[in-house]
Amino acid sequence: MQIKNSIFIFLIVLLSTQSISQESTLNDHDQMQCGSDEILRQMMDNIPGYEDSLHQHMHELQQILKSQTHAKSLKDVYTLPVVFHVVYNNETENIHDSVIYNQLDVLNKAFRRQNEDTVNMRPIFNQIVGDAGIQFVLAKVDPDGNPTNGITRTYTNIKNFYPEAEYVAGQGSVTDKSQVSRIMDDQQGGKSPWNTNKYINIWVGDLSQYRSTSSGYVDEDALYGVASFPKHQSIHFDSTNGFKLKEDGIIMHYKTIGSNNNIPYTNNYYPTGFLDNKRKGGKMLVHEMGHYLGLFHIWGATISNCEEGDYIHDTPGASLGSLADCNIMYNQNNCIDTILGQDLPDMIENYMDYSPDVCMNSFTHGQIDIMRLTINIYRPSLLNYAAANIDSFNEQGKVAVYPNPTRGNYTLSFEQFQKELTVIVYGIDGKVISQHDYANTNSITAELTGEKGIYIIHVHLSDGSVVKRSLVKEA
């Protein structure tokens, strides 16, 4: 839905709490709050001309989207390196590698529209959704040039990074949201980021919060996640209790990561298992990544009652987020719009809605255009550095490794005959496991010593190039 008399905001911050209404409306207890509303109000109040300048900038982006240059770029698949920083206070929060691998798979399938639940898309939307042509890989090289599995783990003495909320008459629950950023800082009990121009930093920690209500009732909520827009497009200023991200990246509640995450939500207000049925599909990181790549919610920057939108031509209008079960909301149509000559219903299948994970399954073509343009204009260094973290197309033809995973022996097969080469195997901690020289061969078979886990193989070829391969050893 295009914005009417509104703006495009270049700082996206999503504050999503665990409260999910059994109705499709937002009310006092069940509200899923979004910090972008607060950020918008603060910027409008503190920065003269902010609205006009961003509104003009969005028009310029729309012109770029119409250009032939951008049209050509749609043929390319963009690969972006990510690193997960797990910051934990206990072993439950120290989620297993397999959960992160699963989350990455959910993320990639969502952005390539290869997720199985696309079959649940209502036919009326089939013409406006598609493959974003964006994929994500765990970093294989850390900032110091050492091999990595793209996951860091840091113990913290902080029990939960989202502070307690206190009920204030006339204001509701009030909390100092800036404290969430402690997870981004070594000196404050968190983990400082890897170079934010080279990696998408994703922090995972306990964002639980205990809050009091007007009736004095205290329950456990949680911030689902927070995403920043490109830092150089953000305008920073101080505000009391305002949400301020110290670094560029995404912060996630550890219970939202992975569709195989079996850590239950706990909330005294809801029946056991209620929230597990809503937010256990790994879709919240998809939603947050959409914000990181420049998207609004489908209803726009604020709860707009159809008066503004997300500045995207093919997302059906919505007045607010959808929170109920999918089958309850299928006939929901809160705004009048014209897309493909029709007034389409609210698109609860859209990743940028608040609908349950089981409802979300697609991005629209217009949303895809904005995300890809954001990468090209505001985050191009991620594309440039991806080559150091993935096997390039040419390298894939040079060396193959199999079986992978392996239980012991593995084979390296070379596209061309090698007069001489060196194979170095590293553990995930960067230590050399083995190093051997070979000559006059087009394949070698070797034994992978060591315990089960991920290993990085550096193959130094005859032409002077170095090909990197990851290899998993099973028990």
Rg (CA), the chain: 23
Closest among 223, 139, 216, 144 to 178, alpha carbons compared:
223
pLDDT at 340: 82
CB atoms within 10 A of CB 439: 9
How is 408-456 classified by DSSP, letter by letter? SEEEEEEEEEEEEEEEEEEETTS-EEEEEEEEEEEEEEEE--SSSEEEE
Q: What is the spatial distance between Cα 120 and Cα 51, in angstroms, rounded to a whole number?
A: 38
Question: Which of the 8 DSSP states describes residue 41?
Answer: H
pLDDT at 324: 64
Amino acid at 267: N
pLDDT at 171: 55
pLDDT greater at residue 231 or residue 341: 341
Mean pLDDT of 252-275: 76
Kind of pairing between the strands at 134-138 and 78-88? parallel
pLDDT greater at residue 275 or residue 434: 434
* Both tokens assigned to 257: 């990561």
Q: What is the spatial distance between Cα 350 and Cα 346, in angstroms, rounded to a whole number?
A: 9
pLDDT greater at residue 176 or residue 422: 422
Question: Is the pLDDT score of 281 beyond 60?
Answer: yes
* Both tokens assigned to 90: 């206990």
Cα dihedral 176, 180, 181, 185 sign: positive
* Both tokens assigned to 75: 């043929």
pLDDT at 428: 65
User: Which of 35-44, 203-212, 274-283 is most confident?
Assistant: 203-212
At a CB cut-off of 8 Å and minimum separation 6, what does 196 contact? 231, 247, 248, 249
Each residue's pLDDT tens digit, 330-343? 778 878 888 888 88
Instruction: Out of 46-55, 266-275, 298-307, pick the least confident.
Output: 266-275
Residue 72 confidence class, pLDDT cut points 50, 70, 90: very low
Q: What is the spatial distance between Cα 347 and Cα 129, in angstroms, rounded to a whole number?
A: 11
Domains of the chain: 35-80+91-157+259-386 (3.40.390.10), 393-473 (2.60.40.3080)
Mean pLDDT of 129-154: 90
Asked whether the beta carbons of 126 and 361 are under 8 A apart, the reply is no
pLDDT at 239: 45
pLDDT at 367: 94
* Both tokens assigned to 17: 């709490």
Each residue's pLDDT tens digit, 390-447? 543 334 447 888 888 888 899 988 877 888 888 988 876 667 889 899 998 888 999 9
Cα distance between the two ends of the chain: 52
Q: Say if pTM beats, i.e. exceeds, 0.75.
A: no
